[in-house]
Amino acid sequence: MQELLGWTLNAIRNRSEFGWLEERRFEWVPLVQNCLNIAMNGSAVIIITDKERTWFSNYLVKTLNKPSKNRPVLPFFSIKCLLPGLTNLSTNETFEAYTDMLDIVFKNYIFWYIGRSDDKMASFAKEREDSFLWLFDEIMPNSFYLKSYDEALDSKLISLASLFDKTIDAVMFSKVKL
């Protein structure tokens, strides 16, 4: 069984679309490792995006739990499906009410946020210190930094999702240890 860092390097080198990630794997691996440890131990992962990345949230939920993967369904949920009106709200008190409800519904959960760091949904996700953050235009500890103005942003998001999905397979089928 390989260590995640070595396995990730091999996975990056085997797929040309991951090439840009090779030098950033040291940022990537600890974040993915933490997220997968949490998910594999039965906690829910609630995906939140800024408004422009709603399509990506849908893509992640459908891709990670595609029936053809021949693996158990994983606890990845879109916040837009769980709490459809949340994006229209603006007060911290309302966010706290939703967080209280999530605390009741899920024994354990984390947020996986993808989007601009100045979005109100980012503020919601940042309140939990164990969130899996892919932040645009802000470098923050324990987050993966991307540029919102990068012309290749969408393809980078899809390649990150693909690598994340491959990592799930590697962990579930005992090729990698967390």
Task: Name the residue ranges covered by the structural domains of the chain.
Answer: 31-173
Model confidence pLDDT, tens digit, residues 1-31:
579 999 999 999 999 888 899 999 999 999 9
- pLDDT above 70: residue 89: no
Specify the pLDDT at position 11: 93
Model confidence pLDDT, tens digit, residues 121-163:
898 898 888 899 999 999 998 899 999 999 999 999 999 999 9
* pLDDT band, very low/low/confident/very high, at 69 (cuts 50, 70, 90): confident
Q: Which residues are CB-contacts of 54 (< 8 A; sequence separation ≥ 6)?
A: 80
Specify the pLDDT at position 98: 83
Q: What number does CATH give the domain 31-173? A: 3.40.50.11670
88-95 mean pLDDT:
68
Specify the pLDDT at position 101: 87
Q: Which residues are CB-contacts of 4 (< 8 A; sequence separation ≥ 6)?
A: 29, 32, 33, 167, 176, 177, 178
The structure tokens listed for 159 are 């390649």
Specify the pLDDT at position 1: 58
Candidate from 23-27, 66-70, 87-91 with smallest mean pLDDT: 87-91
Contact 76, 45 (CB under 8 A): yes
